[in-house]
Amino acid sequence: MVTVYGIKNCDTVKKTLAWFADNGIEARLHDYRVDGIDADFLAQVEPLFGWQELVNKRSTTWRNLDDATKQNLDQQTALALLLQQPTLVKRPIVLGGSKPLIGFNAKSYTDLFCGSKRGLMKNSIITLAHELIRRPSISLLDF
């Protein structure tokens, strides 16, 4: 199962959850506001994306920070700030697939989560077609 980390009110998180539902992929939401985040989670995702990518500089929380905090941000202070204010974590973070993702891009999600499924379906249809041509006496009910 895929876990989507974010905030349920976030439009991008809503889009992500809708995309998974539309594509028949089970996903659960880990809501930062309800479930929280801890240092272990940040230690897990920071090496995957880098601390700069984890900071959501488009958020209201970021805009409300004082300039000194924004200008003096480094790895240590950024991770401490993300722990204090989880709404600063860029969303969504998606874990549980073959590759971790941050943000939402429909094409990236399709390539990662549907590429192999579509390939398998295409191969199955081709195999079925070949069998029907090779053995015309069988019907689809035989499969």
Query: 62 and 38 in contact (C-beta within 8 Å)?
Result: no
List CB contacts of 110: < 8 A, sequence separation 6 or more.
23
> Is the pLDDT at 109 greater than 50, yes or no?
yes
CA atoms within 13 A on the CB side of 101: 22
Taking residues 61-68, what's their average pLDDT?
Answer: 94
Taking residues 96-112, what's their average pLDDT?
Answer: 92
Q: How confident is the model at residue 80 (pLDDT cuts 50, 70, 90)?
A: very high
> Is the pLDDT at 41 greater than 60, yes or no?
yes
Average the pLDDT over each of 60-69, 103-112, 117-126 and give the range with the smallest value. Answer: 117-126
Residues 101, 3: Cα–Cα separation, whole Å:
11
Q: Which residue(s) pair with 30 in the sheet?
A: 5
> Is the pLDDT at 118 greater than 70, yes or no?
no
Q: How confident is the model at residue 98 (pLDDT cuts 50, 70, 90)?
A: confident
> Is the pLDDT at 126 greater than 70, yes or no?
no
User: What letter would DSSP give residue 29?
Assistant: E
Whether 114 is catalytic: no
If you search the block for the tokens 């989880």, which residue do you land on?
A: 86
If you search the block for the tokens 């003096």, which residue do you land on?
A: 72
Average the pLDDT over each of 34-48, 50-64, 102-116 and give the range with the smallest value. Answer: 102-116
Catalytic residue among 10, 17, 89, 94: 10
> Is the pLDDT at 4 greater than 90, yes or no?
yes
User: What is the token pair recorded at 98?
Assistant: 């073959």
**Run of H or E including 92:** none
User: What letter would DSSP give residue 89?
Assistant: B
